[in-house]
Amino acid sequence: MDVRVDDSDVVRMRGQLFFDGDDARRKLSRFWMLLLLAGVIASAGVIGDSTATVIGAMIVAPLMTPILGIVLAVVCGDRPNLVKSLLLVAGGALAVIVIGYLMGLFIGYDVVAATNGQVAARVTPRLIDLVAALATGAVGAVALNRSDISDTLPGVAIAISLVPPLAVVGLTAESGAPHQAYGALVLFLTNVCAILASGVAVMWFYGVHRVATDKASSSIRRSRAVVIIGALLVVIIVPLAFNSKRVDRTVQQEQVVRSDAKAWATSSGWTVLSSATHDGVVFLALTGPAPQPRLVLLSELLVRDGISPSEVRVVLLPNNFHTLPSATPARD
């Protein structure tokens, strides 16, 4: 089966991804209009903790176009369009961050991971996020090379998270949470690097570089650009590996604490209502009838399983039911 592209395919892809030609101004105005609106939608969705609204922003956002434009420009050895695409990605990312920051100024509370699920989902990127982004970027590149499966691109837009993390960067920076802003920025860079790496690999597989140009000088520039993309991918793996290890340790610790707490509470007729981890401390909420279970027994279970009791906080909510007195009939 021949999977190679031809001249018409390359012309089609250039028309889809590059902001040049007679209609360059129209393409640019469309890009900025959609990007700014997507930034507003994403910021509103994060502030309102609305998954549906955030997904809407992902579909509207056109940031995937210049990122794939970088891929095509690298494979084709097209320096002018490479520079244009890089500037659009950098300028677009900065614009969304500013939108998030400005919208954060108009609300009366902080938008941070502790109180917002959309933020919490985007400030601790892990290696699994890189794996997902690599696969999603590959699907996007394949859909670009094969016009017969281009209808998968909306799914790619939803699967790859570009604008929402940038909105989170602005919102958390305005809320005074620089570490969370950094985490969201790492997620965005992870997705960009993954799209570039898998996109270049897919286009090489389809032979785009053979159709686009045969110039030796362009081949040298392509090789240098591919090396840079590979280096960026390696660099981004470092914080992802660190976050993965920390998150995995946190999840394992919370699972052990919850299991011990459940066994401890059940023996006294109590129930674990919730568990959550913040800054390395597991918070438990339990409820049940009097008398309260003895906390020292829980400490013993935790120590047995290698958990320090100082890393756990417990809230006990006794079930104290009261019978309401009979209401006195109102007199005229």
- Please give the DSSP secondary-structure letter assigned to residue 287: E
Model pLDDT, residue 220: 46
Whether the CB-CB separation of 133 and 194 falls below 8 Å is answered with: yes
Round the average pLDDT of the chain to a whole number and report it.
Answer: 86
- Mean pLDDT calculated for residue range 110-135: 90
Model pLDDT, residue 2: 53
- Mean pLDDT calculated for residue range 219-244: 82
Model pLDDT, residue 331: 63
Model pLDDT, residue 169: 97
How deeply is 249 buried, as exposed, middle or buried, from its count of CB atoms within 10 A (0-12, 13-18, 19+)? exposed
Model pLDDT, residue 217: 44
Contacts for 329 with CB less than 8 Å, ≥ 6 apart: none
**What's the pTM?**
0.80
Please report which confidence band the pLDDT of residue 30 belongs to, taking 50, 70 and 90 as the band edges.
Answer: very high
Lowest mean pLDDT among 130-134, 144-148, 292-296: 144-148
- What percent of the chain shows pLDDT beyond 90? 41
Cα dihedral value 196, 199, 203, 208, nearest 10: -40
Task: Reply yes or no on whether the pLDDT at 118 is more than 50.
Answer: yes
